[in-house]
Amino acid sequence: MTHYDYIFAGGGCAAFSLIHYLTKSSLKSKNILVIDPQGRSYPSKTWCYWAEKPLEIHPPNQLVQWNQLSFGRGKEKTLLKLKNLTYYHIQASDFFENLRLYFDQLPNIQFSESQVETCQTSSSGFEIITEKGEKFTCDYLFDSRLDTQIFQDGKKILKQQFVGWKIKLDQSFFDAESVTWMDIIPSENGNFSFGYILPYDAKHALVEFTCYSEEEIPYSLLEEKLKNYLSDQLDRISYNIYFEEKGRIPMSTQFKMNSPHPRWINLGTRAGWSRPSTGFTFQFIQEYCQQLVSELESSGTPTLKKMPSRHYFYDNILLNIVKKWPKQLDRLFVNLFTSNSPDHVLRFLQAKTGIWEEISILSKVQFYPFLKSLWHYEKH
């Protein structure tokens, strides 16, 4: 039975990010095993984040960025310029392949293309058995597997459900200087829905249809909604699809973030690192992974990584509106960004603001939806 210092159950963004930062630290010689069934079949995903400059982990040859955000509903459009922040885009396959090529040069990092079957504590730390019958032990277990048991038992979870296509147009159409962050799409069933456009140039873009719902929406229906959205937007311009992504992001503050052992450490969405109100995760992963490495270096005992508790309160206020009064969300989001500096709002969504900044931001928006949600407050 082979023993490792660190074993990663799951090889997603959080696992690769943490390993990257470990290799840049005093722990760079630790023996590491990553167990993930996907191997080099990387997921079809795109990630975005905002910062003053590209993050150090950003693939150097894949820099796509914007400095303007657009909000809309029908023919109404609002264009907002970012001052100090830039909106960055990463293709997941580029991220994984760039790091995997780097890891393959390091003899202390190994990969097992298998599924973790069981994890349990043992006299030597933890014992892991894979579906292939492989047995390993380790001192630290980093777990990023996602299952429904991480949520509050018996409670339906609101999900951000989406389908996105990268398309090539027959003629120029897109404004390559600005991201359509939220283009509200009226929904006949009452769910909050919007379009999202990342233009790479005048003819190429990633276009997504997103819907918030507790019930799972068939991907075929999401694709139909996306097709209709493109038909409305493009006005008979033909397009070809050359990439597809889809997913369901849990929007909940009710994660069971505690693990059965101080050295059994949850990562990523399993650890509640997705912002419940927006689904953005990438930048929280980078921040929390660097904190983990620092604590592993100093004390060997990482602490639970999460946003300040007041931000979960803010998220529950918003999720309450999403669930009970979704038709009020479109005005709320536009009002939030247009009444404040967009840089300040993005920092707020990143949980990087102080309490007085947050009071200033929230004091400028329409109070009624928030007061109603506060009066009917519940956790989601």
Alpha helices in 145-298 (DSSP H): 219-234, 282-298
Averaged in consecutive runs of 10 residues, what is the pLDDT profile of the chain (380 residues)?
Answer: 95 97 98 94 91 95 93 84 96 95 97 94 90 95 77 70 97 95 84 94 97 92 96 92 93 77 92 89 96 96 90 90 80 85 94 93 77 71
Alpha helices in the chain (DSSP H): 13-23, 92-103, 219-234, 282-298, 309-324, 329-338, 342-349, 355-363, 367-375
> What pLDDT does 299 receive?
94
Q: Rounded CA gap, 89 and 181, in Å?
A: 13
- The owner of tokens 């209709």 is 228
Q: Rounded CA gap, 317 and 308, in Å?
A: 15
Q: What's this model's pTM, rounded to 2 decimal places?
A: 0.93
> What pLDDT does 76 receive?
80
- Angle at alpha carbon of residue 59, lines to 204 and 56, rounded to 5°: 130
Supply 263's token pair.
Answer: 């050295």
- The owner of tokens 């699809």 is 241
Sequence-distant (≥ 6) Cβ neighbours of residue 51 within 8 angstroms: 85, 86, 88, 283
Domains of the chain: 2-44+92-151+255-298 (3.50.50.60), 159-250 (3.30.70), 309-375 (no CATH)
> What pLDDT does 3 receive?
95
> What pLDDT does 154 receive?
54
Q: Quickly list DSSP for 96-113.
A: HHHHHHHHTT-TTEEEE-
Measured in whole angstroms, the distance separating CA 126 from the mean position of its chain's CA atoms is: 29
Q: Rounded CA gap, 98 and 59, in Å?
A: 7
> What pLDDT does 179 receive?
96
C-alpha distances (whole Å) from 183 to each of 77, 129, 157, 196, 326 are: 8, 47, 24, 6, 15
